[in-house]
Amino acid sequence: MALTTSDQGISLIEEFEGCALTSYMCPAGVLTIGYSHVAAGLTLGHTISPAEADALLRSDLKGLEQVIHRLVAVTLTQNQFDALVSFAFHLGLDNLKASTLLKKLNRGDYEGAADEFLRWNKVAGNALPGLTQRRTAERDLFLGRA
């Protein structure tokens, strides 16, 4: 049976994404609500309940999960899968597809893949504490240390 994101993985994503129950314009100029959910037809000031935010997140994760299953050629633990989902949710599937992390993982180099999480903590060449914290948490989860 194919892995799906566990409650622990969802909690990690929720912790770092934060939840906005009222829609807002994100820094990229996209209307966003809940845990970084975007949707056509969303209007500024739209509100949702915490349960709706959770349901939107779980729905958004389904598509990521399916693609990760297609991209990864090796067996994953639940923690490894959850860490990859968090990574892809935050950085996008295109970044995961092109990453050395995925290349190392598919060669069976789990330790090397784990270390690659830490390379994704920069914006415009500058390491950001929040990104370092998230990538460290994802790496720790990937390694079963969370």
Q: How far apart are CA 135 and CA 98, in angstroms?
A: 17
Q: Is residue 64 part of a domain?
A: yes
17 is catalytic: yes
Q: Is residue 2 part of a domain?
A: no
Of the pLDDT bands very low, low, confident and very high (cuts 50, 70, 90), residue 47 is: very high
**Residue of 41, 79, 75, 36 whose CA lies nearest to 59:** 36
Q: How far apart are CA 114 and CA 84, in angstroms?
A: 10
* Boundaries of domain holding 54: 7-142
Name residues whose C-beta falls within 8 Å of residue 77's C-beta, 6 or more positions apart in sequence: 144
The pLDDT score that the predictor gives to residue 22 is 97
Q: DSSP 3-state assignment of 56?
A: helix
**Structural domains counted in the chain:** 1
The pLDDT score that the predictor gives to residue 146 is 67
Domain of residue 75, CATH code: 1.10.530.40
Of 14, 19, 26, 65, which is the active-site residue?
A: 26
Q: How far apart are CA 31 and CA 17, in angstroms?
A: 15
Write the pLDDT tens digit of every residue in 50-109.
999 999 999 999 999 999 999 999 999 999 999 999 999 999 999 999 999 999 999 999
Q: Is residue 1 part of a domain?
A: no
CA separation (Å) from 11 to 17, 31, 35, 60? 10, 23, 11, 14
User: In whole numbers, what is the pLDDT of the chain averaged over residues?
Assistant: 95
Q: Is residue 94 part of a domain?
A: yes
Of 17, 65, 116, 138, which is the active-site residue?
A: 17
Q: How far apart are CA 98 and CA 108, in angstroms?
A: 17
19 is catalytic: no
- Percentage of the chain lying above the pLDDT 90 cut: 90
Number of continuous H segments (helices) and E segments (strands) in the chain: 7, 4
